[in-house]
Structure 1
Amino acid sequence: MTQDAPLLVIAAGGTGGHMFPAQSLAEVMLARGWRVKLSTDARGARYTGAFPKAVEIDVLPSATFARGGIAAKAMVFPRILGGVAKAIRHFLRDKPAVVVGFGGYPAIPAVAAATLMKLPRMIHEQNGILGKVNQVFAKRVNQVACGTWPTTLPEGVHGLHVGNPVRGAVLEKHAAAYIAPGDYPMEILVIGGSQGARILSDVVPSAVAQLPQSLLSHLRVSQQARPEDLDRVTEFYEAQGIQADVRTFFDDIPKRMSEAQLVISRSGASTVADISVIGRPSILIPFAAAAGDHQTANARGLVEANAAVMIPESQLTAESLSEQVTNILSQPDGALMMARAALSVGKPEAAEELAVLVESLAFPETYPAA
């Protein structure tokens, strides 16, 4: 990669919801001959292990009012201003052709610097409702790309639906053959964000234990759990004689999802994208406290396509979940139809479409209609 290659700066926060689509775009842009830098903060830098080695990690100070006490909140603006100043210095030294923000407060310095310097810039919103940082920049960027459609946008802002980019490891499993439930080994994958979800640890094991023996005798569970829940979930499954692999983090989710007959999950935007690209039946439990109830909006596409069942947290019990799992796993033809329906709403081309948007901002003369 030569220093003459155009530079893309990707600004993203330290959660999988922001980092997975950012990683996907980085992979595609590197393949197109661009140089790529990731702008994040110290927290976000801990989540960059899966990014291609060619991506330079640029750590800038940032902060949020959502954490810490009075002293920490008093330092939010100084830290953000310091991050913006540092980003400007970096951009003057190595000018980006385009800056793309994926949301999260660690994205603020780079996107703010690009705005002040009038550099070509865009944001990508993964959820059906803009996050706080993307709300701030929606009217200050050249393009708003949307992962979930429809996305609620501020008045006067027009978004373009590109879908949520998925990592190369997910694309490799695109439309992987689905083995419908039957009298042979079956897998349920339970995921709730990068470290599981407390409510899934509370409810899923009991729900699985209530399944008919005809299903249980063939079943294996892979479940993410928070560190503090790991032992009790593992011990419950062992006591019930249920085969289960319980971990705080799975680094092979695309593989596990492709081998699963059913996915039980939160409805984070990246997870919904993975499910739709690989094509699997799912039971989605939106995070009730998500800002603007955006996880319900994220789940809507799969639910309306009859690819997923949505259970609100307020209605989630071991009994209600066990009933839905039984319905899906005891109807092979229905499960197969759900898997195909999931594929029908997937956008495996999302990263490529986002890459075209990036290049249209950098080289408008080449993309006159963009």
Structure 2
Amino acid sequence: MTGPSHLIIAAGGTGGHMFPAQALAEAMLRRGWRVTLSTDARGARYAGDFPHVVDVRQVASATFARGGLLTKLVTPFRILGGILAATVRMARERPSVVVGFGGYPSIPAMAAAWLTGRPRMLHEQNGVLGRVNQLFARRVDVVACGTWPTELPEGTNAVHSGNPVRASVLDRAGASYIPPGDYPLSIVVIGGSQGARILSDVVPAAIAALPEGVRKTVRIAQQARPEDQARVTGAYAEAGISAEVEPFFRDIPRRFSEAQLIISRSGASSIADISIIGRPSILVPLAAAIRDEQTANARALVEADAAILIPESQFTPDSLSRHIAAILTQPDAALQMANAALGTGVPDATERLAVLVEELAKKDLS
């Protein structure tokens, strides 16, 4: 008798890679599959939330983006060593499917899958392929795209899968939207660890500049880096605005569902959450992103008239204040934005990925 089908998931150490990887792992375990996570030592530290039955396998990998000259000289040998070890093991195990989620720790398993001819797939969260996924895009059976459209190399076989979201987000999917009115209005501001500084600089001043009739109704929940928390809190207090300012909110899905407006960076996970719950948003892509993927991520919401995009070069207190006021003083338009956001969401993204995995496995058996 043969054992259960075996999925190897290859993923890097950032939340953007690991969260959808975890969602797929959980889905395939429910379907009776055996699941292995292939990552490096750094990635393994982010794997604590994976189900305990997932075999976390560390392989040698490295990146040219970090370290000094000596580290960079050693990097190709570490990568080759990881590929060799993964290839030997994969030739012996012959997994049913290998799925890569990006990040340099995914290189050994994806290269081994290509060298051994195993069915393989990529999932790309952003609207522009990451460097590792770009390397393998034409060497896999299919690229599942979390953002649509995604910029892809010519000849790539791609499908729109959407980005998996947390169960707590799905629990709030399509939550009824309360349009702005003459009552307390909630604005949620999130920026991520890399991109919160400019939001801390601009948003409090923009809120303070709102017309009095709007300003007196707003309640702010803003994520700010620890070093900015005191000054942001002080700015709101000085303007007489009710605000919660914290480095991290653990109840973002609830806050999103209760918000009249979200101001956010346009990371892939944030865009997915906004579209699944369905809220008007003002998006500020991270200008430092090497491939400008956050602008690409925002495209679907902006083109659906569900969001307003403000490039960093135009992100000033005056411009932001005008956009906030326009949304909060036009309840019908705000409701249309919320409904339009819902139309871009893919609440069954995890299920779509699971189906793709099973289809690849069937092709290998045919």
Q: Is TM > 0.5 for Structure 1 vs Structure 2?
A: yes
Equivalent AA in structure 1 for residue 128 of structure 2: I
On the 8 A contact 1:215/1:329 being kept in 2, the answer is yes
On the 8 A contact 1:165/1:351 being kept in 2, the answer is yes
Q: 1:329 to 1:42 in 2, by over 3 A?
A: farther
The residue number in structure 2 matching 1:289 is: 288
The residue number in structure 2 matching 1:236 is: 235
| More deviation, 227-236/168-177 | 227-236
Are positions 1:60 and 2:59 aligned together?
yes
For 1:98-109, what aligned pairs fall within 5 Å after superposition?
Answer: 98-109=97-108
The CA deviation at 1:94 is 4.7
| Distance in 1 separating the partners of 2:155 and 2:340 | 33
The residue number in structure 2 matching 1:321 is: 320
| Distance in 2 separating the partners of 1:187 and 1:136 | 43
The CA deviation at 1:348 is 0.9
Secondary structure of the 2:244 match is strand
Secondary structure of the 2:219 match is strand
The residue number in structure 2 matching 1:76 is: 75
| Distance in 2 separating the partners of 1:42 and 1:221 | 39
On the 8 A contact 1:23/1:167 being kept in 2, the answer is no
Secondary structure of the 2:324 match is helix
The CA deviation at 1:242 is 2.5
Q: Which ranges in structure 1 are unaligned for 5 or more consecutive residues?
A: none
The CA deviation at 1:253 is 1.9
Q: 1:72 to 1:139 in 2, by over 3 A?
A: same
| Distance in 2 separating the partners of 1:145 and 1:254 | 25
Q: Deviations over 1:99-131 (max 9, x none)?
A: 111111121122112222221111011222211
The residue number in structure 1 matching 2:353 is: 354
The residue number in structure 1 matching 2:343 is: 344
For 1:1-12, what aligned pairs fall within 5 Å after superposition?
Answer: 4-12=3-11
Q: 1:280 to 1:179 in 2, by over 3 A?
A: same
For 1:246-261, what aligned pairs fall within 5 Å after superposition?
Answer: 246-261=245-260
Q: Deviations over 1:135-192 (max 9, x none)?
A: 1101111111112222221122221112222222221111011111222232211112
Q: Which ranges in structure 2 are unaligned for 5 or more consecutive residues?
A: none
The CA deviation at 1:296 is 1.1
Q: 1:249 to 1:106 in 2, by over 3 A?
A: farther
Secondary structure of the 2:363 match is coil
Q: Deviations over 1:297-322 (max 9, x none)?
A: 11111111110000011111011111
| More deviation, 286-295/102-111 | 286-295
Q: Deviations over 1:32-73 (max 9, x none)?
A: 222222222233333334433433332333221112221221
| Distance in 1 separating the partners of 2:117 and 2:364 | 18
The residue number in structure 2 matching 1:198 is: 197
Equivalent AA in structure 2 for residue 250 of structure 1: F
On the 8 A contact 1:16/1:270 being kept in 2, the answer is no
Q: 1:85 to 1:306 in 2, by over 3 A?
A: same
| Distance in 1 separating the partners of 2:10 and 2:126 | 17
| Distance in 1 separating the partners of 2:8 and 2:212 | 53
The residue number in structure 2 matching 1:267 is: 266
| Distance in 2 separating the partners of 1:176 and 1:52 | 29
Secondary structure of the 2:139 match is coil
Equivalent AA in structure 1 for residue 183 of structure 2: Y
The residue number in structure 2 matching 1:96 is: 95
Secondary structure of the 1:290 match is coil
Secondary structure of the 1:99 match is strand
| Distance in 2 separating the partners of 1:365 and 1:97 | 8
| Distance in 1 separating the partners of 2:297 and 2:348 | 18
Q: Deviations over 1:338-363 (max 9, x none)?
A: 10000011111221111111011112
Q: Deviations over 1:179-234 (max 9, x none)?
A: 11222232211112356522112111211222233333332222222233233223
The residue number in structure 2 matching 1:310 is: 309
| Distance in 1 separating the partners of 2:46 and 2:216 | 38
Percent identity, aligned pairs only? 64
On the 8 A contact 1:98/1:361 being kept in 2, the answer is yes
Q: 1:336 to 1:217 in 2, by over 3 A?
A: same
| Distance in 1 separating the partners of 2:240 and 2:25 | 44
| Distance in 1 separating the partners of 2:245 and 2:46 | 21
